[in-house]
Chains A and B, each alone.
Chain A
Amino acid sequence: MNDALYTTLNLGPTHPATHGIFQNVLTMDGERIIDTEQTIGYIHRAFEKIAERRPYYQVTTLTDRLNYCSSPINNIGWQMTVEKLLGVKTTHRIDYMRIILMELARITDHLVCNSVIGVDSGALTGFVYLFQERERVYEIYEQLCGARLTTNIGRIGGFERDFSPEVIKMIYAFTDRLPKILHQFEQLLMRNRIFMDRTINVGPISAERAINYGFSGPNLRAAGVDYDVRVTSPYSSYDDFDFTIPVGTNGDTYDRFCVRQEEVWQSLKLIRNALDNLPEGKHYVDVPEFYLPPKEEVYDKMEALIWHFKIVMGEIGAPAGEVYHSVEAGNGELGFYLVSDGGRTPYRLHFRRPCFIYYQALPEMIRGGVLSDAILTMSSMNVIAGELDA
């Protein structure tokens, strides 16, 4: 290899087209990419170390900041991991409420990703359309928990508060309104000649390589593997619902776009279904060791006050043991490997971050392609820096 023939191009760590903080040093032959060297870790925040020093309920705030485009999935995934360790069974109402929130989060995640694919291929309009709709989801979160992005939603054993009639109305309104916008968005891009030319056969990966690289989520499904944690290991009563798992064929950028787009439709269907069939009941189960007692009781009941104090100070240990629990997050299988030694904090908590695992396949996917296609490949993989570096 004659180095003098090639140009070295530095993409990142801060670059408008990478949508995150990671560096690629590309070796270029004219417009063609010969190779790339990736550097990550520019936003490493030591989540796994922090988690070893925080009581179980405080880890939820950390999970918010993993994939911040779909925080509720991370929050609820973590709470379900702790529930699995404790052996707590949640009721159908809690499960359905969780499904509604997780699917809303999936929608926002996919909307961000797909609208950004549009931006990178030169179509800003779709971005503006979809971001307007995404605000509606944030308003729903806000009504539920007061926060927009880093929600810290839900508690171990259920939810902090029930869905108010207002929230249910807002979710219905959102699911009524989104299809129209989504159709418009699809009309702009889906069969658009320019968009198709820019994305078909760009950054493809075969199913075999994708599995070897540990792909999961929409990126794996775009390659034609129908692996979805919601179906293979149903959690939170996903097996009560009928929904389709879209798969692609080529594993290229267009397939990833279409798979995400179809997943949004399926999520909408799931939300409607869950909302229509929302069972009656309480929004939490009885886990006095981890679920805060009602505030009114804390003021005049001794026992409630003690529990409140113990929970807030994080004095309660979880049983010793180890569990692995995974949920289907926006980007794929988000796993929590939790080891407890019986103490008040996790002994070891490892996050299986889908981004971190599949982003290493990028050099293989963009090799031989042109630079502008590499940008599209990167944005269609939906690499979220927070999740990448933990």
Chain B
Amino acid sequence: MDNAFITGKLKTRFTDGIISTDETSDMLTVVVSKEVIHDVIFFLKENQSLGFTFLTTLCGIHYPEQKLPLGVVYHLHRFEGNEKIRIKTFLPLKNPVIPTVTDLFSAADWMERETYDFYGIIFEGHPNLKRILNVEYMDYFPMRKEYPLEDQTRHDKDDRFFGR
């Protein structure tokens, strides 16, 4: 199955939903609008001629300069022909809501919770969307670019020695 076949299939099915396709990186990358994301994943998984049945990973990404700064990246894998595909979708910073894919992949449960924990992306329809790795009372989303890495409660570090 070559990339042209997959993009052709997707473009016929979701005409305007497919924003762009890119074959320059290591695997076929498709950017879709958030309205159709669930349908695209469903189509890729359930369509007889496609059959991407393995959700390799799901993660968030943050580009502060973009108009739609928050992104969700899905990697799907088709065992039969060993093909991988990367699906991306972008969301606004304010009220980033996206439909969940937990109804398609049980594996997405924790991955989506992790993405929520890190980026604050809300997965609509997720059975148990709460923080998974960080403490419950944390009031920000630490992986967003504007937040610092270091522990802010530390007082023993003298900034002069770190060139700051």
| Chain A interface residues (CB < 8 Å from chain B) | 40-41, 44, 46, 48-50, 52-53, 84, 209, 211-214, 225, 227, 232-233, 321-326, 333, 335, 337, 339, 348, 350, 352, 356-357, 360-361, 389-390
In this complex, what residue of B is CB-closest to A51?
B149
Q: Is the CB of B59 within 8 A of A350?
A: yes
Chain B positions within 8 Å of A390 at CB level: 133
- Can you pick out 8 interface pairs between chain A and chain B where the beta carbons lie within 8 Å of each other? A41-B133, A48-B118, A212-B106, A213-B107, A214-B56, A335-B57, A335-B75, A352-B57
Most buried by B among A232, A321, A360: A360
Within 8 Å by CB of A360, from B53, B62, B84, B106, lies B106
Q: How far is the CB of B44 from chain A (nearest CB, A)?
A: 15
List residues of B (112-127) whose CB comes within 8 Å of A's CBs: 114, 118
A-B pairs with lowest CB-CB distance, top 9: A214-B107, A41-B133, A44-B133, A350-B59, A352-B57, A360-B110, A213-B106, A232-B82, A323-B26
- Indicate whether A350 sits within 8 Å of B132 (C-beta atoms), given known contacts A48-B118, A360-B109: no
- Indicate whether A40 sits within 8 Å of B82 (C-beta atoms), given known contacts A211-B53, A356-B110, A357-B111: no
Q: Is the CB of B75 within 8 A of A233?
A: no
Chain B positions within 8 Å of A211 at CB level: 53-54, 79
Q: Is the CB of A337 within 8 A of B149?
A: no
Q: Is the CB of B27 within 8 A of A324?
A: yes
In this complex, what residue of A is CB-closest to B110?
A360
Q: Is the CB of A44 within 8 A of B134?
A: yes
A44 CA to B114 CA, complexed, in Å = 11
Chain A positions within 8 Å of B62 at CB level: 348
Q: Is the CB of B143 within 8 A of A324?
A: no
Within 8 Å by CB of B25, from A48, A209, A322, lies A322
Q: Is the CB of A227 within 8 A of B79?
A: yes
Query: Quick one: CB contact mask for B33-51 with A, threshold 8 Å, 1 for yes?
Result: 0000000000000000000
- Indicate whether A46 sits within 8 Å of B84 (C-beta atoms), given known contacts A324-B75, A360-B106: no
Q: Is the CB of B107 within 8 A of A360?
A: yes
Q: Is the CB of B84 within 8 A of A324?
A: yes
Q: How far is the CB of B107 from chain A (nearest CB, A)?
A: 3
Q: How far is the CB of B26 from chain A (nearest CB, A)?
A: 5
Chain B positions within 8 Å of A48 at CB level: 118, 143
Chain A positions within 8 Å of B24 at CB level: 321
Query: Quick one: CB contact mask for B8-41 with A, threshold 8 Å, 1 for yes?
Result: 0000000000000000111101000000000000
Chain A positions within 8 Å of B84 at CB level: 324
A40 CA to B131 CA, complexed, in Å = 10
Q: Is the CB of A214 within 8 A of B26?
A: no
Chain A positions within 8 Å of B75 at CB level: 324, 335, 337, 352
Interface status of B5 (Cβ within 8 A of chain A): no
Interface status of B142 (Cβ within 8 A of chain A): yes
Chain B positions within 8 Å of A52 at CB level: 149
In this complex, what residue of A is CB-closest to B108?
A214
Q: Is the CB of A84 within 8 A of B56?
A: no
Interface status of B93 (Cβ within 8 A of chain A): no
In this complex, what residue of A is CB-closest to B62?
A348
List residues of B (59-86) whose CB comes within 8 Å of A's CBs: 59, 61-62, 73, 75, 79, 82, 84, 86
Query: Quick one: CB contact mask for B94-105 with A, threshold 8 Å, 1 for yes?
Result: 000000000001
Interface status of B91 (Cβ within 8 A of chain A): no
- Indicate whether A389 sits within 8 Å of B133 (C-beta atoms), given known contacts A49-B149, A214-B54, A357-B110: yes
Q: Is the CB of B149 within 8 A of A53?
A: yes
Chain B positions within 8 Å of A326 at CB level: 56
In this complex, what residue of B is CB-closest to A336?
B57
Chain B positions within 8 Å of A333 at CB level: 56
Chain B positions within 8 Å of A325 at CB level: 26
Chain A positions within 8 Å of B132 at CB level: 40-41
Q: Is the CB of B110 within 8 A of A84?
A: no
Q: How far is the CB of A223 from chain B (nearest CB, A)?
A: 13
A357 CA to B59 CA, complexed, in Å = 12
A40 CA to B113 CA, complexed, in Å = 11
Most buried by A among B29, B82, B105, B133: B133
Identify 10 new A-B residue pairs, CB closer than 8 A, beyond the known A40-B133, A212-B107, A324-B86.
A46-B142, A214-B106, A322-B25, A323-B25, A337-B59, A337-B75, A348-B62, A352-B56, A356-B110, A357-B107
A324 CA to B56 CA, complexed, in Å = 10
In this complex, what residue of B is CB-closest to A353?
B57
Q: Is the CB of A49 within 8 A of B142?
A: yes
Chain B positions within 8 Å of A44 at CB level: 133-134
Q: How far is the CB of B7 from chain A (nearest CB, A)?
A: 18
A360 CA to B61 CA, complexed, in Å = 23
List residues of B (148-163) whose CB comes within 8 Å of A's CBs: 149
Chain B positions within 8 Å of A357 at CB level: 57, 107, 110-111
In this complex, what residue of B is CB-closest to A341?
B63
In this complex, what residue of B is CB-closest to A50?
B149
A321 CA to B86 CA, complexed, in Å = 14
